[in-house]
Copies of this chain bind each other. A is one copy, B any other.
Amino acid sequence: MMSTRLTGAFAPAVTPFKADLSPDFDLYVAHCRWLQQQGAGLAVFGTNSEANSLTVQERMMLLDGLIERGLDAARILPGTGCCALPDTVALSRHATLHGCAGVLMLPPFFYKGVSDDGLFEYYSQVIERVGLQGLRVFLYHIPAFSGVPISLNLIERLATRYPQQVRGVKDSSGDWANMEAMLRNFPQLDIFPASESLLSRAMPLGAAGCISATININPGAISALCANWAEQGAQQAQAKVDVIRQIIQKYPMIAALKWTIGHFRDQNNWQVQRPPLQPLSASQHADLLAELQAAGFSMPGLEAA
């Protein structure tokens, strides 16, 4: 059996809101379409999408809308992991029935100190209850937010028990030793680091690409680097994307991405975040813009999207 591997740059697409805090669907579709046109996949409903600030119903409606407006489901990897098993099952079924590339699944993240046995049982229940051939699970290791690590042992057990369904991991630990161990231990899985700054180290070891916040504003360059990391000029391309990331990382990430998109699109609504997250201050706007301009940053192709 040939299995399809998932590769490339996937953007945890940020979610725009209207002033009343409801999702701004028109801005959302335009942003997601631009990302796909620039060569990026869509890891919608990720940490940087404020996914956990959305209800289950809102996530389903947004995904329905993207598909209905013609975005390519085979390049969409929605986040579906919730605290409650039935919510995770419902979102994962929904995404799978839409023909999505896979689902990126947080562990249940309220209880801390849970055992690998308990997490194995949780993921097993999700897979069994979704019960669809097309389900492709990507495990999401982001201990700084979830407080619930996905251990190498857990990956091993799940990938052995469910080789058809468990297809990859996103590693947001920021721990290179962990990333390297995942790449060496699980060549059969598609492993995505959470930052394009790791591409030059991770791609030669077999990484699948990256799922990174900054793809929201730099999709073309990061997608190209995922494809061309072994070509001449890759080192300079790596340095160029690193500069943009280093600027954005000085600010609260989601707020900085939203402000940048709003500025380059000339659309004010991009400032809104659902509480408890907050937008940048006016002085942060000025600093961020000055830094991006000094780096020669632009967002090409917005007109066509």
| A interface list, Cβ under 8 A from B | 21, 47, 52-56, 58, 83-87, 107-112, 114-115, 117-119, 121-122, 125, 144-148, 274-278
A52 partner, pick from B83, B114, B274, beta carbons under 8 A: B83
Given the known inter-chain contacts A52-B84, A84-B53, A86-B58, please indicate yes or no for A107 contacting B147, CB distance below 8 A: no
Please classify the interface of chain A as helix (H, G, I), strand (E, B), loop, or mixed, using the class held by over half of its residues.
loop
A86 partner, pick from B55, B117, B276, B277, beta carbons under 8 A: B55
- 28 pairs, A vs B, C-beta closer than 8 Å: A52-B110, A52-B111, A53-B84, A53-B85, A55-B84, A55-B86, A55-B87, A58-B84, A58-B86, A83-B83, A84-B274, A85-B275, A107-B276, A109-B110, A110-B146, A111-B145, A111-B276, A111-B277, A114-B276, A117-B278, A118-B275, A118-B276, A118-B277, A118-B278, A121-B278, A122-B275, A147-B147, A148-B276
Query: How many monomers of this protein are in the complex?
Result: 2
The interface residues of chain B lying within 8 Å CB-to-CB of A83 are 52-53, 83
The interface residues of chain B lying within 8 Å CB-to-CB of A58 are 84, 86
Given the known inter-chain contacts A21-B125, A52-B110, please indicate yes or no for A115 contacting B276, CB distance below 8 A: yes
**Bound Cα distance A146, B147 (Å):** 9
Contact B122 A276 (CB under 8 A): yes
**Bound Cα distance A21, B84 (Å):** 11
